[in-house]
Amino acid sequence: SSLRKRTDYSSVDSSGLNDFLQTLGPEYSVYTYELLNSGIDKETLLTFSDEQLLIDCGITNKIHRIKIQHGVKMSREDFSYSEESLEKNLDVFISYRRSNGSQLASLLKVHLELRDYTVFLDVVGLEAGKFDNNLLQSIRSSKNFILVCTAGAMDRCEGDIDQKDWIHKEIACALNSQCNIIPVFDNFVMPES
């Protein structure tokens, strides 16, 4: 995966497929090898539907397929898409405090996916530098925002006027994006104000 991101494809990629995928984010380069190996170049990719990206290209990450399609429209200067169609294509975003909420968050993700919900959980982590925008865009793309409330999870939010705390930032984004917010409590006590 890491090797595929750093590989120079210029000798076999005359269409600029890897360069196009790189404009979406360095994490998209992992698809270059398989796409080129399957005979798919940039021009072919620009004609693919969501279903073709999934079945023919093997891109199982729904968020990546959406961003690729958005990138295609932007590269064509096709601005006819609506923000709404880009915004609410993910069923659930799970927010949690890494120090004590990761196990419950992972368990929720597994159970939701077993019921065919599309779920974003940043367990794997996003590429450095793209973290802020990708994470917030994933929240904006979600219909539901599950907030895992574990012991002390909100303590850093109190008095955080500049929203430097990530959970605070995620909650604010979810509120602004009109996500349905679902708290899940585990030994949680609301901080005193």
Give the residue numbers marked as catalytic: 170
3-state helix, strand, coil in the chain (%, to 5): 50, 10, 40
What distance in Å separates the CA atoms of residue 104 and residue 47, rounded to the nearest whole number?
40
Integer Cα distance of 26 and 95 in angstroms: 24
Element housing 4 (H / E)? helix 2-6
User: What is the Cβ-side half-sphere exposure of residue 131, based on CA atoms within 13 angstroms?
Assistant: 11
Closest CA to 137 of 81, 80, 176, 102: 176
* Strand, coil or helix: 23: helix
